[in-house]
Amino acid sequence: MTVTSALLSFAVVALLLTLVPGVDTALILRSAVARNKTDALLAALGICTGVLVWGVVAAAGASAILAASQLAYQILTYAGAAYLVFLGGQMIYRSLRHKESAPTRMEVAANKWRAFGTGFITNLLNPKIGVFYIAVIPQFTPTGANALLMGMALAAVHVVLTLAWAGVLILGASLAGKWLSTPKAVSWMDRITGTVLIGFGVKVALARP
């Protein structure tokens, strides 16, 4: 297996993983509907940064701790689950509040950092991504290839696919923006997304390693 064939084969696996609806999809769609295309793109970049970090960490062998230590895996799992529940609850709470005045320039800037940070932390606190890379890196690393560089290359492929899918989601949300950008629609989007995140958080907390 050559490096090129390994990357192409991995791209198929990563594409299937990317297309499966989950927390990432919910965050990007919510940002595109409730905020704007820039915030949605920043959320996607945060998600991709988390993916890249996990790819490098897994290739370096550090994330093998998660596979070997049930305690470390559970701690990170519960931390991620708690964050998802908190994030979902915060969205639902905000959707139930009365409409406030237009945000200031400083609040707009803070929202953009929050969009990036939410995507990044959500992926960083997901140990399943680390375990996923532990499983796939050996399978898609040609004999004689540098494991660290190969891990970075595989993560880069995953990032490109994630950004491409995010672009499709953002474009779809933009086309439907006329119907989805009303205050009532935004509130319901927050409630739905918040419920989805809480559901994922509970599922993650109850899942066995």
Predicted pLDDT at 84? 75
Backbone phi and psi for residue 15, each to the nearest 5 degrees, phi listed first? -65, -45
The closest alpha carbon to 81, from 207, 208, 209, 202, belongs to: 202
Question: Distance between CA 16 and CA 54 in Å, rounded?
Answer: 18
Please report the pLDDT score of residue 160 as a whole number.
Answer: 93
Nearest CA among 26, 39, 30, 17 for reference residue 197: 26
- Percentage of residues in the chain with pLDDT exceeding 90? 10
Give 139: exposed, middle or buried? Use CB within 10 Å, 0-12, 13-18, 19+: exposed
Q: Where are the domains of the chain?
A: 3-206
- Collect the ranges in the chain with pLDDT lower than 70: 61-69, 72-73, 76, 98-111, 176-183, 185-186, 204, 207-209
CA-based Rg of the chain, rounded to a whole angstrom? 18
